[in-house]
Amino acid sequence: MENNKYEKRGVSSKKEDVHEAIKNLDKGIFPNTFCKILPDIDKNNKKVIILHADGAGTKSSLAYLYWKETNDLSVWKGIAQDALVMNIDDMICSGTLGPFVISSTIGRNKKLIPAIVISTIIESFNELTKFYNQLGFKTFLAGGETADVGDLVKTIVVDSTVYSRFNKENVININIKPSNVIVGFASYGKATYENEYNSGIGSNGLTFARHEVLHKIYASKYPETYDNNIEEKYIYSGKYLVTDKDSETNIEIGKLLLSPTRTYAPLLKEILPYYKNKIRGIIHCTGGGQTKVLNFTNNIHIIKNNLLPIPPIFRIIQNVSNCSLHEMYSVFNMGHRLEIYTDEKTAYKLIEIAKQFNIHSEIVGYCEKSNKNELTIITELGTFKYSK
């Protein structure tokens, strides 16, 4: 496989240049948390705050394509979920269970994105706020900004910003130890709080997945869905139409790629109040996929030797693209998007809790002392090494 196909499409799985740009910024009041923790603005020494921003990324471009092909507005509900979950789950990994205050940010090309799409997305943010409240999280929709920016945006960008003020004692400072084991929680399947099968794709690597999996016909039909600066051979180079069905799941390829990002909030709400003091780190395997943890380790060798089965969507991407598994694991979550570092006794208790939500989980690996930050993934198909 040709190297750096991901970068040749104008994206980066690890966002190295972004990390370089922010390396000298203040890291907050805790040295190693998943989200930056700020002091309370009212100078309450027992409280801290998080203000976090994220979004659905280029998944919204795929939603546009699918909607144009099928006239199915429901995909936009998933985009709102992607934009919100990518914030809330990051924040919960840092220790907060709310309250959460949400603001949405939508930038659209008005000539291509009509009012019905905007209404669907905004109403979906409202419905998601109610959903989190029903799950026991105090969640408030503060409003947001919807801008017509056709000069800047080809189709639509859907983001959100979330604020939380919570007790300092609940902050999870990542401090992974050589004796820790790793519990991986499946990103795929159908959790008890989900209405349909989730492919596990999440909101990372969608530029690569979309262009590698989908048929060249979409390049001429929807030039507004990609960057004109990309070389032609990297634009929609796959074999599938969005309405083609996967033989294993009997679900359309487009729907598998658009599966809304699973929230682990209900699961973590059951874990954190009882096991927080046993947890050495919670990693949301987003940008960087299974290598994400390397951003938070200190002279630790992470060995993942018992990963969950690779779900169909990632096998489809790998088979069509002929992408190496080494790169796949560094771009996609590959089956689990949440991992908790803890002791073995606690790990089995967390696995039992996950069963209550119909979320498959296993001890997927362990940690050893090292003189550098390194990760080894051991599978039946090969061993893959990473370092930072």
Q: Report the pLDDT value the prediction gives residue 31, as an integer from 0 to 100.
A: 87
pLDDT confidence tier of residue 26, bands split at 50, 70 and 90: confident
| Separation CA 310–CA 313 (nearest Å) | 8
Model confidence at 15: pLDDT above 60: no
Give the strands of the sheet with 361-369, arranged side by side.
Answer: 279-284, 336-342, 181-186, 361-369, 300-304, 374-379, 382-387
Model confidence at 13: pLDDT above 80: no
Residue range 116-144, pLDDT digits in tens = 999 999 999 999 999 999 999 999 999 99
Question: Domain locations in the chain?
Answer: 5-202+258-387
How large a percentage of the chain has pLDDT more than 90?
A: 91
Mean pLDDT along residues 250-262: 98
* Coil vs helix vs strand at 301: strand
Whether 211 and 234 have beta carbons less than 8 Å apart is answered as yes
Model confidence at 40: pLDDT above 50: yes
pLDDT confidence tier of residue 192, bands split at 50, 70 and 90: very high
User: Which structure tokens are listed for 337?
Assistant: 């998007």
Q: Which amino acid is at 38?
A: L
Mean pLDDT along residues 239-248: 97
Q: Report the pLDDT value the prediction gives residue 27, as an integer from 0 to 100.
A: 78
pTM: 0.94
User: Which structure tokens are listed for 153?
Assistant: 């945006």
Single out the residue of 208, 41, 7, 173 nearest to residue 94, CA to CA. Answer: 173
| Separation CA 192–CA 194 (nearest Å) | 6
Residue range 70-106, pLDDT digits in tens = 999 999 999 999 999 999 999 999 999 999 999 999 9
Q: Report the pLDDT value the prediction gives residue 303, as an integer from 0 to 100.
A: 98
> Per-residue b/e over 222-257, b at no fewer than 16 CB within 10 Å?
bebbbeeeeeeebbbbbebebeeebeebebbbbbbb
| Separation CA 317–CA 201 (nearest Å) | 10
Q: Report the pLDDT value the prediction gives residue 129, as an integer from 0 to 100.
A: 98
Q: Report the pLDDT value the prediction gives residue 28, as an integer from 0 to 100.
A: 85
Q: Report the pLDDT value the prediction gives residue 1, as an integer from 0 to 100.
A: 41
Q: Report the pLDDT value the prediction gives residue 22, as an integer from 0 to 100.
A: 63
| Separation CA 157–CA 89 (nearest Å) | 20
User: Which structure tokens are listed for 245?
Assistant: 């069905």
**What are the beta bridge partners of residue 165?**
49
Angle at which helix 265-275 crosses helix 344-356, to 10 degrees, equals 140
Mean pLDDT along residues 159-183: 97
Q: Which amino acid is at 297?
A: T
Q: Report the pLDDT value the prediction gives residue 2, as an integer from 0 to 100.
A: 47
The architecture that CATH gives domain 5-202+258-387 is Alpha-Beta Complex (3.90)
Residue range 316-335, pLDDT digits in tens = 999 999 999 999 999 999 99
Model confidence at 240: pLDDT above 60: yes
Q: Please give the C-alpha separations between residue 43 and each of 25, 38, 46, 94, 149, in angstroms, as whole numbers.
A: 21, 11, 9, 20, 39
User: pLDDT higher for 15 or 276?
Assistant: 276
Model confidence at 10: pLDDT above 70: no
Q: Which amino acid is at 302?
A: I
User: DSSP letter string over 305-325?
Assistant: -SPPPPPHHHHHHHHHH---H
Average pLDDT, the chain: 94
Single out the residue of 85, 301, 323 nearest to residue 193, CA to CA. Answer: 85
